[in-house]
Amino acid sequence: MRGAYVLALVFPSMAAAGPFDGLYRPNYDWALAWDCESVGVDGGALAVEGDTLRAVENTCTLTEPVEIRDMEAVLYDAACLGEGGASEGRIMLMSHDFGLYVIRDGFVLDWIACEGE
């Protein structure tokens, strides 16, 4: 137990890779030209890295993961900071064959994985 505490102090920025880690772009015709390289900017990639979700001019820290039974999905508490200020809420990430659904109260975003683009 003490060893884990020491490692947390020595490596505080090391986040475990999550099941959704990767680069994505919106899976819509209007986003076909997005570059999958410039993370977090309009026309660039969207990313999930450990406990961080990065979208266009918006970054969310994901905490309190709850796996959804019988689905490839995890529900998180999210603290987000972006151009419009700070916000909090819930975000569910759910894998599909070609990428990821990002689900918030009232809407679903479809992100396609950048691998193979």
What would the pLDDT profile of 13-31 be if each residue is shown by its tens digit? 344 457 899 999 999 999 8
Burial of 72: CB neighbours in 10 Å, binned 0-12, 13-18, 19+: middle
What would the pLDDT profile of 76-99 be if each residue is shown by its tens digit? 999 999 888 999 999 999 999 999
What would the pLDDT profile of 47-75 be if each residue is shown by its tens digit? 999 999 999 889 999 999 999 999 999 99
Question: Between these two residues, 115 and 9, which has the higher pLDDT value?
Answer: 115
Half-sphere exposure of 24 (CA within 13 A, CB side): 27
User: Could you tell me the two tokens for 8?
Assistant: 């947390």
Q: Cα–Cα distance between 8 and 4 in angstroms, integer?
A: 6
Looking at the predicted structure, is the pLDDT value of residue 36 above 50?
yes
User: Could you tell me the two tokens for 18?
Assistant: 């999550």
Distance of CA 47 to the CA centre of its chain: 6
Confidence grade of residue 5 (pLDDT, cut at 50, 70, 90)? very low
